[in-house]
Structure 1
């Protein structure tokens, strides 16, 4: 496999990193400590920009601004229609700035520019527009109660929400947390991942331009043990959402419980099974498996990282899967035709290589890949292991990289038990021509999303979240807005009514 070119694509015409400071109360400001940290270009490992490093003191300042905006400002007092109009304008501004947003995302994250523009930004715009459309349609119910009383239920915003977002889909994760919270009438404080803070700050500027009032949205770049911990444990934050590893999700849940018992929405890790049945169209199955695992350099929580193949077609599947993986183009994500860019940073790069070594050591058969690509940046070959056993580390733990594990199975009963034998339950997939089999497996998998004869298909109309240690709660569309609201019951006496 050819190494990525050392000559990286030129900057987007007129491009410069515009926003590197904290965004608090509608203004870009330095951190109270005046500290900064470098965000790196994963193509080279070189610095892109110095970003203000927020910590607990800055979170305190941001929460105070958000609290004042909620208690005294216009945002929660606007009608849902008015909030929706502002969010629609925000989506329009994202669309108008799609090229710069996509370029910045690829520069900071490393994913191919094509996907940044036509998948990440496009999906994010749709997310904002979906929740904007729901903003004026949230309603409670009325109840005819026993006795001379009328009951009604109303949805109300929590108040100040916190969001801690990951580095694998920075723009999309930002809007999945922020847009529903704002649509519900909350104000919010966001900590982007320290690896990828640049698009969150750019989006904050667009939100202000769209008309989101000062203090309603605050963005505090920083590190998990400082800024992230301050958000999770803050007594004046009423609800927190997090997407990331199960390990960190535990820490956030503990901090939320120990502070003010704030509710949490957690979208966490996965080790998702993809089942290839013996009646499957083999070429289609290989294409689906390739997308399921290698999409976004394997840095996807729903990645189909355990490929279960029925033993009668195992050898044929493996041969075709290896052939396809070898053709996958790894290189500079700004260059046309590149399918796989670098991993996000050196830490992730080294972690993936360690998993590859563990697969070799435990006896899995390395069929292709397994090596770094080039001598600069964080590129790794698409990697496939065969003869993988359930108890191997690469079959149990989330690798979050371009490493596919292929396992054999005989019967469906055996398969269901093995597929569900995981602490995770985020997603699953099945490829088969038999819809009875497909439906049986879809109902048997203990996972929040199941794909049949496809993979990585998402829509804002569908709930998204995990079973078991893959998380708590659901996101997307109406589900995400209701997750940012309290439900209140109100009872009123009725006197002298002829209908009692």
Structure 2
């Protein structure tokens, strides 16, 4: 099937180039070009929000806030449930749109849509289960009553690598809690966000409850919103560097922050691991979204006894992947998001080779019209190479050898990040023992995929603050209020 034959309904980029979505209305504006990373060609233009547009979005969110806050939890739940059903109904169109603007291979894009929709279903259920507390004081002098209230207007900033899932993971709990939101998606992949806004309208989201704006001036626009006293929450997913800047800005107005930041995930394979299972998990942990994921395995530490077999198996699997346009059904590894992304990956690989690493497959950018880098495996990588310290965000698997359990723990923790980690061992006692010593917010044991809407997602150290998903995700958008009651 040709590309043009697949562009129908919500998959059509032109449908989402109408403008900013503020207060339930589409507002025209100057354009930001959205490129197709598979071809290097322009897909569409979207509106470029000014600071004044951002303030209009805050106005719209404020106008809708009291009504949405007062909306019964069951009614909010039903709207989220309908949004989930509409995403499911239009799943193939949304997957095609993601493949076009992100370059993600269609199987990955379909998986993302299913994962993204699940956040709406999960928080449709959590909306009616917000916990409270009632108990006597230890002294017996009075009673303690604790309620949870919506925190207020929330600014949601999402990255380009999961344009649907990063939006729903924030919108779902915010709306379930009773907050109104302003979503600022990445300018590389805004079309999916606007498609989601249209589906939200269809699901019955009232005007102003969800606002979406794109801008080429993210610093000025975001700072203006954070300085407005009506904004009480910032939820950000992106790089640690940008996260630090936003935290400093939010501190000026004491805005509550949830931060899902960078990662440098270690993937530990012990001698007693099931080799085929470890290779299966490695391919998922490394090649989901072509490695452009914060949870992607960044450093493969393999025990000496199984090291050679693991490198050979991983090399064969990576070399066999079909590289091509994201929208091609046969593609298994799509392009990177920009030419700059390709340059960064190439810099890291070139540096590792210069320091003694050996390429077993891949290793050089592909001469294509789009932004392609091939699946690559490196062995004998020095631990002081830049690739061991920096988040790769691409289809490159550096493999390191270790001897003892203590070495594995030391190497895995030798990073400022602490988002995700993976362990493969048939000795569950050992896996749990090692896992307890890893400085990470999430751990996959004999699994290459850990993300689940029902589980808390987040990291430690420089990988973030707070958690998204799970039963705690909704509380990120609520404030606890304590009542001292005497009767």
TM superposition score category, shorter chain reference: over 0.9
Q: Aligned-pair distance for 1:232? A: 4.2
Aligned 1:61-210 pairs, distance under 5 A: 61-71=56-66, 74-117=67-110, 119-145=111-137, 146=139, 149-210=142-203
Q: 1:239-274: per-residue Cα shift (whole Å, max 9, x none)?
A: 10001110111011111002x111110011111110
C-alpha contact (below 8 Å) 1:384/1:403 kept by paired residues: yes
Aligned 1:261-340 pairs, distance under 5 A: 261-340=254-333
Q: Aligned-pair distance for 1:287? A: 2.1
- CA distance in structure 2 between the aligned counterparts of 1:11 and 1:457, rounded to whole angstroms: 35
The verdict on how the C-alpha distance between 1:208 and 1:380 changes in structure 2, with shifts beyond 3 A counting, is same
Determine if the alignment matches structure 1 residue 41 to structure 2 residue 39. Answer: no
- CA distance in structure 1 between the aligned counterparts of 2:484 and 2:340, rounded to whole angstroms: 56
Worse overlay, 242-251 or 52-61: 52-61
Unaligned runs of 5+ in 2: none
Unaligned runs of 5+ in 1: 1-6, 495-500
Q: How many residues were matched structurally? A: 481
Q: 1:324-374: per-residue Cα shift (whole Å, max 9, x none)?
A: 111011112222332111111222122212222222222222221112224
Q: Which among 1, 12, 16 is matched to residue 19 of structure 1?
A: 16
**SS in structure 2 at match of 1:280:** coil
Match of 1:9 in 2: 3
- CA distance in structure 1 between the aligned counterparts of 2:193 and 2:224, rounded to whole angstroms: 19
- CA distance in structure 2 between the aligned counterparts of 1:120 and 1:285, rounded to whole angstroms: 23
Match of 1:53 in 2: 48
- CA distance in structure 1 between the aligned counterparts of 2:254 and 2:112, rounded to whole angstroms: 33
Match of 1:240 in 2: 234
Q: Aligned-pair distance for 1:299? A: 0.2
CA RMSD of aligned residues (A): 1.5
Q: Which among 343, 346, 354 is matched to residue 350 of structure 1?
A: 343
- CA distance in structure 2 between the aligned counterparts of 1:491 and 1:353, rounded to whole angstroms: 61
Q: Aligned-pair distance for 1:8? A: 6.3
Q: Which among 443, 456, 468 is matched to residue 450 of structure 1?
A: 443
Match of 1:497 in 2: none
C-alpha contact (below 8 Å) 2:8/2:93 kept by paired residues: no
Match of 2:355 in 1: 362
Q: Aligned-pair distance for 1:233? A: 4.3
- CA distance in structure 2 between the aligned counterparts of 1:353 and 1:417, rounded to whole angstroms: 27
The verdict on how the C-alpha distance between 1:11 and 1:378 changes in structure 2, with shifts beyond 3 A counting, is farther
Determine if the alignment matches structure 1 residue 227 to structure 2 residue 224. Answer: no
C-alpha contact (below 8 Å) 2:355/2:382 kept by paired residues: no
- CA distance in structure 2 between the aligned counterparts of 1:231 and 1:390, rounded to whole angstroms: 42
C-alpha contact (below 8 Å) 1:70/1:160 kept by paired residues: yes
- CA distance in structure 2 between the aligned counterparts of 1:346 and 1:235, rounded to whole angstroms: 39
The verdict on how the C-alpha distance between 1:234 and 1:248 changes in structure 2, with shifts beyond 3 A counting, is farther
Q: 1:26-85: per-residue Cα shift (whole Å, max 9, x none)?
A: 00102xxx32110000111111001101132211110111012114xx211011111101
Q: Aligned-pair distance for 1:143? A: 2.2
**SS in structure 2 at match of 1:99:** helix
C-alpha contact (below 8 Å) 2:298/2:397 kept by paired residues: yes
C-alpha contact (below 8 Å) 1:84/1:135 kept by paired residues: yes
Worse overlay, 467-476 or 274-283: 274-283
Q: Aligned-pair distance for 1:91? A: 1.0
**SS in structure 2 at match of 1:329:** coil
The verdict on how the C-alpha distance between 1:356 and 1:55 changes in structure 2, with shifts beyond 3 A counting, is farther
Q: Aligned-pair distance for 1:150? A: 2.8
Match of 2:205 in 1: 212
C-alpha contact (below 8 Å) 1:221/1:227 kept by paired residues: no
C-alpha contact (below 8 Å) 1:256/1:263 kept by paired residues: yes
What TM-score do the two structures reach when normalised by structure 1? 0.93
